[in-house]
Every structure is written in structure tokens, then in C-alpha cells.
Amino acid sequence: MTSAKPFNVEPIDATFGAVITGLKLADLGEPAFAALYETWLEYALLVFPAQNLSNEDQITLARRFGDLELELAELSNVKKDGGLRTDDDDDMVKILKGNMGWHCDSTYMPVQAKGAVFTAHVVPAHGGETAWADTRAAYQELDAATRERIANMSAYHSLYHSQKKFGETKEKDSEYFGYGFFGQEPPLRPLVKIHPETGRPSLAVGRHAYGIPGIAEDESEKLLRDLVDFTCQSPRVYQHNWTAGDAVLWDNRCLMHRACTWDMNEPRVMFHSRIAGDPESEFAAHA
């Protein structure tokens, strides 16, 4: 427990992450916010139990961390009429299932996301957790030969590439809003990303990455899979079991994340605000 800050910081038993108590996110003065920002850079994932943020509070909070790429996206299996989306052919179910693969947000866009504020509104009795993995600790623990091998490698990132595994196609109109799916030329991103604010290197991999130029397709698939598998091992992972009212804030520049499965006959309603990356450091040119 750190006492010099205007809130309590309880580190999570992993290479990253802390539970923050003793503050109200909806009513945070400037000095407390500055301390929170520093804490966020240090721990990369902050968990705030029992904040019960309104949608408006959430957007206001997320804006303090930067411009928003997505103000508020509802990730939910509840339809407007109250019925549940349980069918694998449902466009939103395809997105929800896609989110169950390890990834960083918006790496398929020209500018990848900086981070996110994510809140739980309705949670299932079992499952539906969110997990994060520390890509900076993974880079740090890589053996020297692998570090050398990947030093100058890049990979393409595409949402179309990752979602076609779930039957999403460009041929039909999706009920899903189509963000990042159509008309995107895949950006090419180095496998090692330097964090613009901490200077720490991390692995830039995950489900949107494919096709490392200069090596065979199967070799590229295997390398990318091996790097994700290596990253997502204890003590570099943390899985949060949600209680309605929880909020989290994560740094998308050094963590991957994924949703865990749940019985889609149970409702799960989450809200995601995506903080835009800095074009100086998060931009990747289309090849």
C-alpha cells in the first residue's frame, strides 16, 4: 500500500496492475488526476471497484486521458428489445467472440489506441471476465536470440484478417457498425513497440497481427502465436472477475486483453471508451 498518493494503491499479484480505492472517479481534482495518470503509466492497468459511473461520467473521465477514438461503445449481448443474442451468426456475437482472442485495440487502424476506460453494468453469474497480459514484461523476459530475431521485424494488422475466422465477410452488410473493417489497407507495425511515455519496449502482437514480411507465412503464423503464448503466461496475466459498477483503465500501448467466455443465455453489458493514440508514436503507415 502506497500512502503518498491521494488514494490507495494495492498492487495486483502480477507483473502489472493495481486496485485503486479511496477516490471517486466522477469527482477527481486536478492533483489527484495527475497522481492517477502517473500511477496508470506505472501499473498499466488500474481497477476501480464500485464506481458506478454513468455513461456521461465515463466519457468525461476518458477525455481527461486524451482525445477519444470511440466515445462510448456498448459491448453487449442484449438486443434493444431486451432479447439476448445467442446465435453464432449474429453480427454482434461474432464481434464478442472475436474479442475473446488476445489483442490490442485499433492496431488495425492507422493510429492505434492509447488506452481505454471500461465499465461493467450487467454481468453474468459465471464467466465473462476480462483478462490482460503484460507485453513489456514479456519483452523483458524474452531470450536474447528471440529478441535479436524480431528486432527488425514488423507485421501487418487487420481486423478483416482476425474477424474472417468468425465468418465475418466483406460481402454482406454487417449489423456491426463496421468500424475498422471496411476500406482499410493493413498498417505495418514493428513487433517491438517503444512506449512513448515510459520508454519501455514491449511486444506488439495479438490476433490482428499476421504476415511478417520476409519470412514464410507459416513461419510468421508460428512466431506470432509463440510470442502471444509466451506473453500470456503467469505472472504476466491478470483476469478480472467483474462486479457491476466496476471500472477499469488500461494502457493499450503495453497490454493485450481479451474477454472470457460466458453463457450467452445470460446478459452481459459493458461500456468501452477508447482513448486515441498519439499520431507521433502510435501511427503506422499502410504499406
Give me the least distance between CB of 219 and Fe ion, in Å please. 27
Residues between 186 and 205 that touch Fe ion (CB under 5 A): none
Q: Determine the residue with CB nearest Fe ion.
A: 105
Give me the least distance between CB of 286 and Fe ion, in Å please. 21
Give me the least distance between CB of 31 and Fe ion, in Å please. 31
Q: Is 105 in the site for Fe ion (CB under 5 A)?
A: yes
Give 225-244 as a DSSP string: HHHHHHHTSTTSEEEE---T
With vertex at residue 113, the alpha carbon angle to CA 44 and CA 106, rounded to the nearest 5 degrees, is 125
Give me the least distance between CB of 148 and Fe ion, in Å please. 30
Give me the least distance between CB of 51 and Fe ion, in Å please. 20
**Candidate segments 89-97, 101-109, 123-131, 152-160, binder of Fe ion by CB under 5 A:** 101-109
**Candidate segments 64-72, 98-106, 184-192, 214-222, binder of Fe ion by CB under 5 A:** 98-106
Q: Is 69 in the site for Fe ion (CB under 5 A)?
A: no
In sequence order, what are the residues at sequence separation of 6 or more whose Cβ sits closer than 8 angstroms to the Cβ of residue 113? 69, 104, 105, 106, 252, 274, 275, 276, 277, 282
In sequence order, what are the residues at sequence separation of 6 or more whose Cβ sits closer than 8 angstroms to the Cβ of residue 186? 108, 156, 157, 158, 161, 211, 286, 287
Comparing CB distances to Fe ion, the nearer of 105 and 134 is: 105
Q: Is 61 helix (H, G, I), strand (E, B) or coil?
A: helix
Comparing CB distances to Fe ion, the nearer of 7 and 162 is: 162
Q: CA 203 to CA 193: how far, in whole Å?
A: 6
State the number of binding residues for Fe ion (CB under 5 A): 1
Q: Is 251 in the site for Fe ion (CB under 5 A)?
A: no
Place of cell 476506460: 117
Burial code (b: 16+ CB inside 10 Å, e: under 16) for 108-117 equals bbebbbbbbb
Site residues for Fe ion per CB under 5 A: 105
